[in-house]
Amino acid sequence: MSLYNDLRTSAELQREQEDGHRHCLRICRAAGCLSQHNDSITRALQDQVHGQGLENEVQVKGVGCMGLCAAGPLVSVSTHEGESVLYQHVSEADAPEIVAALDSEPVTRLQLDTSTPFFTRQYKIVLENSGIIDPDNIEEYVAADGYRALNTVLSEMTPADVIREVTISGLRGRGGGGYSTGLKWSTVAKAAGDLKYVICNADEGDPGAFMDRSVLESDPHRVLEGMAIAGYAIGAQKGFIYIRAEYPLAVERLKTAIRAAEKKNLLGDNILDTEFDFDIEIRLGAGAFVCGEETALMASIEGKRGQPRPRPPYPADYGLWGKPTLVNNVETYANITPIIRNGGEWFADIGTDNSKGTKVFALAGQIRNTGLIEVPMGITLREIIYDIGGGTPQGTALKAIQSGGPSGGCIPVEHIDSPVDYESLTRLGSFMGSGGMIVIDETADMVEIAKYFMEFCMTESCGKCIPCRVGTAHMYRLLDKIVRGQAAQSDLDLLEELCDLTRNTSLCGLGQASPNAVISTLRYFRHEYTARLIPEFAEEGER
């Protein structure tokens, strides 16, 4: 197809020009590093390069997330032979030294050792372009094989072929549920009706999770391409990205990316000179956690209050404005392009029997290497926390790992050798969730943590169904009573009863999962609860 080839040729021409530069200075421009006076660092580096007349030899560019947020602001220096050095905690004042060191030994004072497990143990599929390409430059994405998959799909594959490839890959939803992506796509494709929608769920509401923000800020075209391929596969002409208003930078980058793709005829009518039309519109969330639930999300896109409704009917049959709708998460779409490019079987070879591919995790809390990592499914928690994460910062003992956000649970240190995949985490009473991992050390109080999550669920409850609206408030009051040391055994019994009730009778996932933090901390850290009960009552309860 000539249009794609033209695009590719011009993108490669640009890359060749860049390769003419002997060095490339890449500055992380994702939200974490950007907030640390990153603009002035970029300017200082540019000034140095210009001041020494090195414009034709040294390229300075802003790129997406390099992963190790704890060491930011990060700057990477590479030669076109492929050698690279990573500098950490860079400040404006370091610019002259960095530029002066280009042709000699690196600045050891700032150098970050990239032979550590944090870098070597990762396996990057979703993040392959993050920290390498300029997210605002579509040519760089195209030169990095971007939109090749869309071109292949439109010119050589039928929608059924695409769905078959995705099914073979074994990809499962990365938003948390873990539903088979291939199965979901084929259900929507089979649904009756000409008008269908594709939705990208970028309402990353789990506190402690920032994978989707990072992907959108670092490589937005990858998500657009995944959505367009999905649109072709299921027969939709319209896509929506529902994104949090709390992520202004990601919204800006997405807008730029959509405009650029429209201009290059990669979105819009007759994409790449074929019959296929596909538009993408951005819809801003407004700070409601429940909108991450798919039916609430669709209500919000329709301009209504974000309240869920019972399923079935599932969105695949009755979704946005009553039409068949495909809802997938950012990371799921980000996996589509490599699956099409390399084939479903390639993807299915990575990971475990039931959980294929890689998963991006956000490491935060009491951990040395805070940041974003991508690892193959099936890796153990120990490898993630100790090898990649570097353990706790002050050498305090690890107590638990909280995964899955407010809907997840706390996994105690005894289970640190468990593999990370959908089923294993569920067995441990937690949940894959979207991929936030909060490391908790011995100084933490587990009842306080359970109370924190319950407060979150209570304030975020949409109020539609009684078990969640009243249940979370009541459970919160009981937890508060326990924390204050005013509770008796009967309060704890009531708390457990309410956990069970809320879990089994709430309308949507938010309510059903709201007691998870309590249930998992009771399962593994019950003594922290009982130690606080009023003694005489506690004895009475045991009798």
Binding track, positions 240-279, relative to another protein; x by CB under 8 A = -----xxx--------------------------------
Total residues interacting with another protein, rule: CB under 8 A: 50
Please state, in angstroms and rounded to a whole number, the distance separating the CA atoms of residues 211 and 355: 18
- 300 or 358: CB nearest another protein: 300
Instruction: Break the chain down into helix, strand, coil percent, rounded to 5.
Output: 50, 15, 35
334 near another protein (CB under 8 A): no
91 near another protein (CB under 8 A): no
Q: HSE of 370 in the Cβ direction (CA atoms, 13 Å)?
A: 17
Are 45 and 185 contacting, i.e. CB atoms less than 8 angstroms apart?
Answer: no
Binding track, positions 430-469, relative to another protein; x by CB under 8 A = ------x-x-x---x-------x---x---x-x-------
Please state, in angstroms and rounded to a whole number, the distance separating the CA atoms of residues 202 and 411: 26
Q: How far is the CB of 406 from another protein (least distance, A)?
A: 8
- 216 or 267: CB nearest another protein: 216
- 189 or 375: CB nearest another protein: 375
Q: What is the strand order of the sheet 197-202 is part of? A: 279-284, 238-243, 197-202, 325-329
Q: How far is the CB of 449 from another protein (least distance, A)?
A: 8
Q: Which of 64, 72, 170, 292 binds another protein (CB under 8 A)?
A: 72
Which of 226, 165, 162, 237 has its CA nearest to residue 194?
Answer: 237
Please state, in angstroms and rounded to a whole number, the distance separating the CA atoms of residues 375 and 384: 8
Please state, in angstroms and rounded to a whole number, the distance separating the CA atoms of residues 515 and 409: 9
70 near another protein (CB under 8 A): yes
Q: Which of 54, 107, 168, 284 binds another protein (CB under 8 A)?
A: 284
Q: How far is the CB of 410 from another protein (least distance, A)?
A: 11
Task: Please state the φ and ψ torsions of residue 75, each to the nearest 5 degrees.
Answer: -135, 130
Strands (E), 366-515: 371-376, 398-403, 409-412, 436-441
Binding track, positions 357-396, relative to another protein; x by CB under 8 A = -----x-xxx---xx-------------------------
- 51 or 248: CB nearest another protein: 248
Q: Which of 29, 213, 264, 399 binds another protein (CB under 8 A)?
A: 213
32 near another protein (CB under 8 A): yes
Near another protein in 301-320, by CB under 8 A: 301-306
Q: Which two tokens stand for residue 177?
A: 């549920």
Strands (E), 29-162: 58-63, 75-79, 84-87, 111-112
Q: Which of 389, 405, 435, 515 binds another protein (CB under 8 A)?
A: 405
Please state, in angstroms and rounded to a whole number, the distance separating the CA atoms of residues 466 and 176: 25
Maximum Cα–Cα distance across the chain: 84
Q: How far is the CB of 256 from another protein (least distance, A)?
A: 18
Q: Where do contacts with another protein occur on this chain (CB under 8 A)?
A: 31-32, 34-36, 69-70, 72, 204-210, 213-214, 245-247, 283-289, 300-306, 362, 364-366, 370-371, 402, 405, 436, 438, 440, 444, 452, 456, 460, 462
